[in-house]
Amino acid sequence: MVVPRFLLAMLLSSLYRAARCCQSEPGYAILYCKLFLVEGCKGIMENPSKTRFICETAAIAAIYAVLTLLFAPFGFLQFQVRISEAMCILPFFTPAAVPGLFIGCLIANIFGSGTLGLMDIVVGSLASLLAAFVTWKIRGKSKWLLPLPSVIANAFLVSWTLNVMLGLPYWLNVATVGIGQAIACYGIGMPLWFLLNRYRRNVFQRI
């Protein structure tokens, strides 16, 4: 269908612009993402379930990218607690979080990777994609396992990037990145899970 492809292109274009303006006007970026990505896509397509999936994907990507860039000093390099990684539990609620987290991480890494360059953009984003997919696959198991794929994937893959690009000791990277991920994913992500699970029928209702 032409319309869904057009809508997806429009949403991704909006996400790109929101990430750009986040660096200079964070407040405007958040408002822009909310109004355009969430409200602007209502009623555009004839297939409401596909509309909702695309809107959820774009909204999750936008929120992840904006949070990462807002807290950029804490979200990159060896000692990092990426606040946006608390969203790693979202695949439990919606499959749209799998592409959403990947796209959000990709956009954030493009603008925030700095000296790590292309390798971090590719490896870091694929780590998020892998973690999100595994989280979605294990959604029927214990809720306490949900953040684990993100902790493991980033601890080992991001550490590899740091070792190759900056020469930092690999296993020390695994420890520091893993601890930072655990703080974000369990320390912030699990309280977020309990909050969202309480209102899941309103927030993530399927059409």
Q: Name every residue whose Cβ is closer than 8 Å to that of residue 116 and which is 6 or more positions away in sequence.
A: 76, 77, 161, 162, 165, 166
**Mean per-residue pLDDT, 16-35:** 51
Question: What count of Cα atoms within 13 Å lies in the side-chain half-sphere of residue 167?
Answer: 0
Contact 204, 97 (CB under 8 A): no
What's residue 3's pLDDT?
38
Model pLDDT for residues 148-187, shown as the tens digit of each residue: 999 999 999 998 988 888 888 999 999 999 999 999 999 9
What is the three-state SS of the chain? CHHHHHHHHHHHHHHHHHHHHHCCCHHHHHHHHHHHHHHCCCCCCCCHHHHHHHHHHHHHHHHHHHHHHHCHHHCCCCCCCCHHHHHHHHHHCCCCHHHHHHHHHHHHHHHHCHHHHHHHHHHHHHHHHHHHHHHHHCCCCCHHHCCHHHHHHHHHHHHHHHHHHHCCCHHHHHHHHHHHHHHHHHHHHHHHHHHHHHCHHHHCCCC
Q: Where do the domains of the chain lie?
A: 2-203
Average pLDDT along the chain:
79
State yes or no: pLDDT of 89 exceeds 70: yes
Contact 53, 45 (CB under 8 A): no
Q: Which two tokens stand for residue 140?
A: 């029927």
CA 1, CA 149: separation in Å to the nearest integer?
A: 34
What's residue 36's pLDDT?
47
Q: Report angle CA 59, 102, 177 to the nearest 5 degrees.
A: 115
What's residue 91's pLDDT?
94
Q: Which two tokens stand for residue 94?
A: 């919606």
Model pLDDT for residues 40-69, shown as the tens digit of each residue: 444 444 455 777 888 889 889 999 998 888
Work out the percent of the chain whose per-residue pLDDT is above 90.
42
Supply the pTM of this predicted model: 0.75
Q: Name every residue whose Cβ is closer than 8 Å to that of residue 83 and which is 6 or more positions away in sequence.
A: 67, 68, 71, 74, 75, 184, 188
What's residue 179's pLDDT?
94
State yes or no: pLDDT of 6 exceeds 50: no
